[in-house]
Structure 1
């Protein structure tokens, strides 16, 4: 029964839940908030990237396929990938 319930969790998303967001990191006029997603004992690279304030604020949800064995490593990779995306795309990230 243990194997079947484990498989059910994989397909139902029961074990896939966002962790609490981390502190905001400012980078080149963008705000990056790492939000690793716990998934089956690992953590998926994810963050929210914003630019601007109030009615002018734009938001992009950043989720990658990368899975990391621990939360701290996931946050480090998330920040590196978000910064690289900002460097490559700038404000086009919101389109």
Structure 2
């Protein structure tokens, strides 16, 4: 099982934040917060090599809370070291 360190998670979040304008411009469906969290979840899915069965799926229209909860869920068993992702999610979406 692939894991992620706090340093690597922070790097991914920082990269998305740096590319925020371009990401939002090219993915105009949803709020900025939803788009950025969706992008982070997509990056984590790839980085952590999640299988189709491990990848969160949603009923209805997902919102920012849905994506935030999915990210927290994905990280729950995949952190190489204990860290709190919420502060990075807050920085990403501010």
TM over 0.5: no
Specify which structure has the higher proportion of strand: 1
Higher relative contact order (CA 8 A, sep 6+): 2
- Structure with bigger gyration radius: 1
Specify which structure has the higher proportion of helix: 2
TM-score (norm 2): 0.32
